[in-house]
Amino acid sequence: MTVAGDNCLAIRQLSLRVDGQMLFRTLDLAVAPGTVVVVTGPSGAGKSSLLAFLCGTLPPEFDAQGAVWLDGDDISRLPPEKRGLGILFQEPLLFPHLSVRGNLLFGLREGDSRKTRRLIVDRELDAMGLAGFGDRDPVTLSGGQKARVALLRVLLARPRALLLDEPFLGLDDANRAKVRQLVFDEIRRRQLPTLLVTHDRDDVACADGPVVALTRP
Amino acid sequence: MKRFAPFFALLILGGAHATSPALAAADEQLHAWPEVQRLGSGQTVYFNAWGGDPAINRYIDWAAAKLLEDFGLRLVHVKVTDIAESVSRIMAERAAGRDANGSVDLLWINGENYAALKRAGLLWGPWTAALPNARLIDWQGNPTTRIDATLPTEGYELPWGTSAFTLFHDRSHVQSPPAVPAALLQWMEAHPGRFTYPQPPSFLGTAFLKQMLLLLAADSGRLQRPAADDFDQVTAVLWEWLDRAHAVMWRRGRLFPRSGPAQRELLGLGEIHWMMSYNPAEASRAIRQGDLPDTIAGLHFNGGALGNSHFVAIPYNAGAKEGAMLVANFLISPEAQAGKADEERWGDPTVLEVDALSEADRARFESLQRGAATPGPPAEILPEPHPSWSTALERAWLERYLR
Amino acid sequence: MRRPGILILLLVSGVPTVAGLVAALWFGLDAAAFLRVLNTPGVGLSIASSVWTGVSATLLSLMLAHVVLAVANTGNWRRRLTALSLPFLAMPHLATGIGVALVLAPSGLLLRLLSPWATGFTEPPDWFSVHDPYGLSLIAGLMLKETAFLVLVLSAAQSQAPTGRLLLQARSLGYGRLKSWLVAVAPLLQQQIGLPLAAVLVFGITNVEMAIPLGPGLPPTFSVLLWSWFVDADPQVHAQAWAGSLLLLLVTALTVLAASRLASGVGSLWRRWAESGSRLRRERSLRGAACTIMGGMWILGILALVAILLRAAAGPWRFPQVLPSSTGADSFAAWSAALPGGSNVAGTTVVLALATAVAGALLVLPAAEALRGDANGRRKLGTCLFLPLLLPQITFLFGVQVLLVSAGIDGTFAAVLWSHLIFALPYVWGVIGPARAAIDPRYAAVGRTLGAGPVRVWMTVTAPLTLRSMLLAMALAFSVSVALYLPTLFAGAGRVATAATEAAASAGSGTLRLAAMHSVWLAVFPLLAFAAAYAASAAVFRHRRGVPR
């Protein structure tokens, strides 16, 4: 195991309990910048709960011990919006009541004028190969397009680390490889420490990073 | 009712609601008129009055507008289906210990309801003598202004209008209108299904029972004293007449219109050929409004018409007593009374002694037109029986016909 | 943050209900008054006609709703049926009752349309077609409303069960549409609709809104008799009314109990029928009969609305004229002139209904938020809020009035608003609770990880996604408020005049013209509210097809 460095996402001595029952063995883990650590494990092993703990959205019936550090700070007690962790789920979860551009503007950090913000978003869409999609209703997009918008939305929020919850599972074969490549390229380009939860062998292969299996205690 | 106070003291208010019983109304100072005017101006007066007739409602709206203009007083017409609702409300307030700022400031009342409130000590007064306009009332010529169904008013209620029981028929179906009970019965037997009367104990239904009893009873003077053990004996003639009538009445006497206006509506639609009213001008006004065809005509029974006055009274716990007095004084002003007597607006005979008014005020009354369906004055005004007869008649009627 | 919202909601709904019941027990348990009730002329007949009309109307409505849904269980027809039922659901009982009376009376619209060319009548016949002693017209009026209600309740329940596959299975075994439905689907749905069905039964037995314009007259149904005692001047009669309202509670409880016992008996017969293997042979004619009745009821409903408008406009309206002799601008002037305090009444009605809608939504939202992940808690809260609908209104509302009088707040706007909330909250909760829970919690999680605080996430993500349900819930609360009569009368101390109190008072005194005038508001306001809610719901997010409806 790597030692937690300054630019790492680190999990220290983490254990999760429901009704006194431990979900997996105490976890210690550090993710270096630009690295994708893969977390696997049987269903019900607590993979989603682990991600919820990291994000700060763990339901109160869970009892969590341990801490999560990012860039040398303990972020365990911070509210989700202050943690600087971006998450991508299996479904793209674009807000159905906002346009594609509205979704991206929601992600984009504040500052700049309205006009500039729109320009930024449209430029990024262009770079993603989605030029002219700003006014579209998210529901009308294809699976691959939605996934790209979701990725863009996360990146615009300038996260310091990324969490991926089987994000390529819902895509067809052709799109899956393309989107996966896109995501991993961005991770490396931006040097984001990343935690990937997946069952998919191809995901593991492409991640090219350490694999951690959650096991029952 | 006594269980009220301790119960709520315990359960709801933790003992904080242990108020003393009602203050006797007479303890309160009766202000001189200028003081009443000063205090009453700007008050809001809740006037509980029967709201079933649009014309009457409009008249009260008119009075409210005048009072707002003259005194800045807000008159709110609380429309009730039966004034008994308001009487029970005052009693409920008394039981709950709400002895000031009650929800009723002035109410339109007479007969049984007056008797009930007076007996329970829930009326404020005497106050009517303090009104400047009270001297215009025809106290001597019209005894019903002083005596309400055999009970003296004693200044606790102010006469507001008078009435005489009148029958109306559709001339296109009734050629020679019968004016005695026996002839009416004959007509009904010849024309089944076309006569009915409002269901007792509604105001007008009970009035019909009293009118018929006054005409049929061997000794109508007996009705001026409280009903007693001889009730069955005195009323036997009435039940005999009604039993025969019901057999040939509208819906065979198994359904009755619920009120006077309901009966008027049935006449207008053509379901029945008769209606009745305490107001001799009702049909004329309804014809003008287009509610009845112009073939309607009115008549009084040859034996005389049941007559009475109706009144306004102030409950013991009224919050705006001075305002209520201002309203009452306006309601018996020549201007308001002439408006009330106007058939185009209400058509209710006045309580004022018209001959004693100033020339200008007298002219207000003399210019009024009498409609074609309004009969002349009745041969005789038959005074209301003692209230105990109304109650007993209603009960006996229900027991007899509600089975 | 979790509990207070639920607690406040329960207090708003529960405190007056429980206190009203306690007061009803306190004042009702009076042996002398009970004796007087039992000695009242015609009281036995009166109770019997309440139970008879309530039970028959509920049973017939339920059967009709099932048969109609069985016939129309393909998607398109079900949607059309729901759309056809909505106007009847929106129209208050009182207005429907008054309208049906104006159609069915001997001088009513139906015979006018047929006279004299078909019937030969030039004068209205002396028939018992409304207020009949057997309560048949009352049953017909109740069926008009309750069938529509049950159709909607059943189709909502249907979407929660795998009904489509079950039906297909049964039909592939050689059963017709009707028996497939009745055997494979109906028992499943019956288990889910127990509470609403009980509420229909209780309302059928205890209502005054329909019994006043349509019910028997001599004697009236028991609740109408009680209502007339409550407004009597004599304190002895009041004690009688309190005792009587307890008797009504007892009779209602016994009937509901008997009905549920009977239902389990019917259940075993049902199973035997299912196991008999018989394929219904005359299904087509049965289905035809149900559709005819349904069509007839639909026409009756439309005629009722037309009759209200005609009667409100018509001054002189001699039988057998179909149209009143004066129409147009002329009669509109007469109408507004004849309507006492018309604009005031309409204004109070609308303001009260709007306040009920807004307050209802505001009260329900925190609880919906707190219970979004707790299906069991949602079900329990829903049941608690529904309880007041299972009580005879007249029994606990008089208790509520006594409470309000002793607190000195009777007749205030707030008191009436509170009483309306008791009846609106179950519906508001029924719409908003599940809708809030159905929103994927990960939307909020995504919002948070993108850097938005909890308040901003609620405002920009959760609220917009719930908006359409909120609009529908508010329209429901609005129409419930417009329709409420007894709560307005009791809490308003007769001083808060709404279209419902005025229409009921006029219908109570038999002046149907005035009743029709007020019923125009009663009928129109809820329809407008639903139309506005649907229009707004369609207009916002017009280009966002992914937003939940």
pLDDT of residue C2: 54
Q: Quick one: tokens of B113?
A: 């309801």
Q: With a cut of 70, say whether residue C131 has pLDDT above it.
A: yes
pLDDT of residue C549: 74
Q: Compare C322 and B245 and report the one with higher pLDDT.
A: B245
Distance from CA of C462 to the nearest CA of A (A): 10
Of C448, C452, C544, Cβ closest to residue A97: C544
Number of H helices, E strands in chain C: 26, 0
Of A55, A138, A153, Cβ closest to residue C546: A138
Of C373, C453, C546, Cβ closest to residue A139: C546
pLDDT of residue B6: 34
Contact yes or no, A with B (3+ CB pairs under 8 Å): no
- Mean of the pLDDT values across residues C370-386? 93
A117-163 pLDDT, tens digit per residue, is 999 999 999 999 999 999 999 999 999 999 999 999 999 999 999 99
pLDDT of residue C367: 95
Q: Does C482 touch chain A (CB under 8 A)?
A: no
Q: With a cut of 80, say whether residue C513 has pLDDT above it.
A: yes
Hey, are the CB atoms on C19 and B12 less than 8 Å from each other? yes
Of A95, A109, A157, Cβ closest to residue C443: A95
Work out the angle at residue C96's Cα, subtended by the Cα atoms of residues C95 and C97, and round it to the nearest 5 degrees: 90
Distance from CA of B26 to the nearest CA of C (A): 23
Prediction pTM value: 0.83
With a pLDDT cut of 70, the percent of chain C lying above it is 95
Q: With a cut of 90, say whether residue C341 has pLDDT above it.
A: no
Hey, are the CB atoms on C319 and B254 less than 8 Å from each other? no
C137-146 pLDDT, tens digit per residue, is 999 999 999 9
Q: What are the chain C neighbours of B261 within 8 Å (beta carbons)?
A: 509-511, 514
pLDDT of residue B16: 32
Of C217, C239, C513, Cβ closest to residue B265: C513
The answer for residues whose C-beta is within 8 angstroms of residue B274's C-beta and 6 or more apart is B167, B168, B169, B170, B174, B194, B195, B196, B267
Number of B–C residue contacts, CB under 8 Å: 178
Tell me which residues of chain B, numbers 265 to 304, contact chain C at a CB-CB cutoff of 8 Å.
Answer: 265-266, 268-271, 289-293
pLDDT of residue A6: 63
pLDDT of residue C343: 61
C337 band by pLDDT with thresholds 50, 70 and 90: low
C75 band by pLDDT with thresholds 50, 70 and 90: low
Determine the residue of chain B that is closest to C229 in CA distance.
B85
Determine the residue of chain B that is closest to C236 in CA distance.
B1
pLDDT of residue B22: 35
pLDDT of residue C326: 60
Can you give chain B as a three-state secondary structure string? CCCHHHHHHHHCCCCCCCCCCCCCHHHCCCCCHHHHHHHHCCCEEEEEEECCCHHHHHHHHHHHHHHHHHHCCEEEEEEECCCHHHHHHHHHHHHCCCCCCECCCEEEECHHHHHHHHHCCCECCCCHHHCHHHHHECCCCCHHHCEECCEECCCCEEEEEEEECEEEEECCCCCCCCCCHHHHHHHHHHCCCCCCCCCCCCHHHHHHHHHHHHHHCCCHHHHHCCCCCCHHHHHHHHHHHHHHHHHCCHHHHCCCCCCHHHHHHHHHHCCCCEEEECCCCHHHHHHHHCCCCCCEEEECCCCCEEEEEEEEECECCECCHHHHHHHHHHHCCHHHHHHHHCCCCCCCCCCECHHHCCHHHHHHHHCCCCCCCCCCCCCCEEECCCHHHHHHHHHHHHHHHCC
Q: Does C450 touch chain A (CB under 8 A)?
A: yes
Hey, are the CB atoms on A154 and C450 less than 8 Å from each other? yes
Q: Does B2 touch chain C (CB under 8 A)?
A: no
End-to-end Cα spacing for chain B: 30
Q: Does C547 touch chain A (CB under 8 A)?
A: yes
Q: Which of C314, C319, C509, C129 is nearest to B267 (CA)?
A: C319
Which residues of chain A approach chain C closer than 8 Å at the C-beta?
52, 55-57, 59, 79-81, 83, 85-87, 89, 91, 93-99, 106-107, 109, 137-140, 153-154, 157, 159
Residue B320 is which amino acid?
Answer: A
Q: Taking each helix axis from N to C terminus, what angle separates A143-156 and A100-107, rounded to the nearest 10 degrees? A: 30
Hey, are the CB atoms on C494 and B86 less than 8 Å from each other? yes
Average pLDDT, chain C: 88
- Mean of the pLDDT values across residues C283-306? 89
C335 band by pLDDT with thresholds 50, 70 and 90: low
Q: Which of C446, C456, C457 to mutate to test the interface with A (most CBs of A within 10 A)?
A: C446
C79-108 pLDDT, tens digit per residue, is 788 788 888 888 999 999 999 999 999 999
Distance from CA of A211 to the nearest CA of C (A): 25
Q: Does B88 touch chain C (CB under 8 A)?
A: yes
A29-84 pLDDT, tens digit per residue, is 999 999 999 999 887 788 889 999 999 888 888 899 999 999 889 999 998 888 99
pLDDT of residue B118: 93
| B364 close to B335: Cβ distance less than 8 angstroms | yes
pLDDT of residue B29: 56
pLDDT string in tens for chain B (403-residue length): 333 333 333 333 333 333 333 333 344 556 789 999 999 999 999 999 988 777 899 999 999 999 999 999 999 999 887 788 889 889 888 988 899 999 999 999 988 899 889 999 999 989 999 999 999 999 987 888 998 988 899 999 999 999 899 999 999 999 999 999 999 999 999 999 999 999 998 889 999 999 999 999 999 899 999 999 999 999 999 999 999 999 999 999 999 998 888 999 999 999 999 999 998 998 998 888 778 889 999 999 999 999 989 999 999 999 999 999 999 999 999 999 999 999 888 888 899 999 899 999 999 999 988 888 999 878 888 888 998 899 899 989 998 998 6
Q: What are the chain A neighbours of C450 within 8 Å (beta carbons)?
A: 81, 86, 106-107, 153-154, 157
| A198 close to A48: Cβ distance less than 8 angstroms | no
Tell me the backbone φ, ψ of residue B267, rounded to 5 degrees: -65, -40
Q: Does B97 touch chain C (CB under 8 A)?
A: yes
Hey, are the CB atoms on C341 and B258 less than 8 Å from each other? no
pLDDT of residue C329: 42
pLDDT of residue C256: 96
C218 band by pLDDT with thresholds 50, 70 and 90: confident
Q: Quick one: tokens of C537?
A: 């719901």
Hey, are the CB atoms on C460 and A106 less than 8 Å from each other? yes
Helix (H) or strand (E) holding C501: helix C499-508
Q: With a cut of 70, say whether residue C333 has pLDDT above it.
A: no
With a pLDDT cut of 70, the percent of chain A lying above it is 97
Check if the interface score ipTM surpasses 0.90: no
Q: Does B1 touch chain C (CB under 8 A)?
A: yes
Q: Which of C17, C15, C9, C10 is nearest to C393 (CA)?
A: C17
* Residue B166, CA distances (Å) to B181, B279, B282, B289, C101 in order: 13, 7, 9, 19, 29
Of A57, A96, A138, Cβ closest to residue C445: A57
Hey, are the CB atoms on C449 and A96 less than 8 Å from each other? no
Q: With a cut of 90, say whether residue C280 has pLDDT above it.
A: no
Hey, are the CB atoms on A79 and C465 less than 8 Å from each other? no
With a pLDDT cut of 90, the percent of chain C lying above it is 55
Hey, are the CB atoms on A107 and C544 less than 8 Å from each other? no
DSSP character at residue C389: G
Helix (H, G, I), strand (E, B) or coil at C468: helix
Q: With a cut of 70, say whether residue A111 has pLDDT above it.
A: yes
Torsion (CA) C68, C79, C97, C150 in degrees, nearest 10: 60
Determine the residue of chain B that is closest to C234 in CA distance.
B88
Distance from CA of C127 to the nearest CA of B (A): 7
pLDDT of residue A191: 93
